[in-house]
Structure 1
Amino acid sequence: MNEESSTVAGQTRDEVDRLVSAWRRERPDLDVSPLEVLSRVTRLARHLDRARRTAFAERGLETWEFDVLSALRRAGSPYQLSPGQLLTQTLVTSGTMTNRIDRLAAKGLVVRGPDPNDRRGVLVRLTDSGRELADAALTGLLKNERELLSALPDARLEVLGDLLRELTVQFEAE
């Protein structure tokens, strides 16, 4: 197949096919096959980031705001977590989390209250408007993500999800 061909094994060529082909031509001594997967993952991540930012912006949210609101929403009723639990779920520093909670509280999306099990502790609770906003943002996010994945049938998406899990599990501590 020549480099200008628009298909590879019956599939439309993409930019990654072109760059891999160029590297194989220029550096035949190297195995560039990792680029075929990871360059596509990187490109897909850019599209996903754009889709997420769009879904959140449509509801007046920043990505970090959705991260905190969704962690509280996933906690289930009464939709509250300690700041430490929020740190664990959002992977930010204590100072960053304090600032984020302050900003969300100023918007009326969360409230702080005492932890009944720890006199010194605080719990952050999602307000009704925070829950409604998290739910609306999730709905928009899932719509955008479905559009990104629309080229694959459900059976192939399941296989892809399984394969990606095999790759990511090595980086995740339980």
Structure 2
Amino acid sequence: MQLTLLPVLAPLRDIRRDDVHAPVLDEFMGGLGVGYSYGPPFGDRLVTWADLQRMEMPRRMLRRQAAHNLDARLGAAQVHGQPPALMLQFDGIASTLLLAEAFWAGLERAVPGELVVGVPARDVVIVTGSQSPPGLAKVRRAIDRVFFAGDPHLLSRKLLVRRHGAWEVFTQNLAHAAF
């Protein structure tokens, strides 16, 4: 069986560039980084600096190959649930879908307002719209439950919003939310 490399989200607190056995992590946003996982199954083992040396692969090529493999596997992504909140499923690494530009264009029209996501863990992504107070509340509750349960691959308590084709931390303007 041939191994495939895919990008996966990981907390930036795991960055240790002085250790060759530490995972290769690129900064993403909001305290999150992008690591690179061998698979399938994905997410069990991240590419380390020593692996990169052994493969004689430049970091740029690692990024490019992982992005290409992600695009090729997007057909496996699934959306479950009903508004006000949707759940994503993708090979146990649903958070990786945040890195797939093509995936989000189809979902933008499925929610009221801008796309807002919670990514409390590598395998948990909850999607709603910025103009859906019940959806935002549901996403926040789901994040709290995942952190309370202590998932082995916790990522972020922050909500993220997709603006102009990029993710940023969502800060809800309370005055705007009343309208």
The alignment's TM-score, normalised by the length of structure 1, stands at 0.24
The structure where helix makes up a greater share of residues is 1
Q: Which one has the largest radius of gyration?
A: 1
The structure where strand makes up a greater share of residues is 2
The alignment's TM-score, normalised by the length of structure 2, stands at 0.24
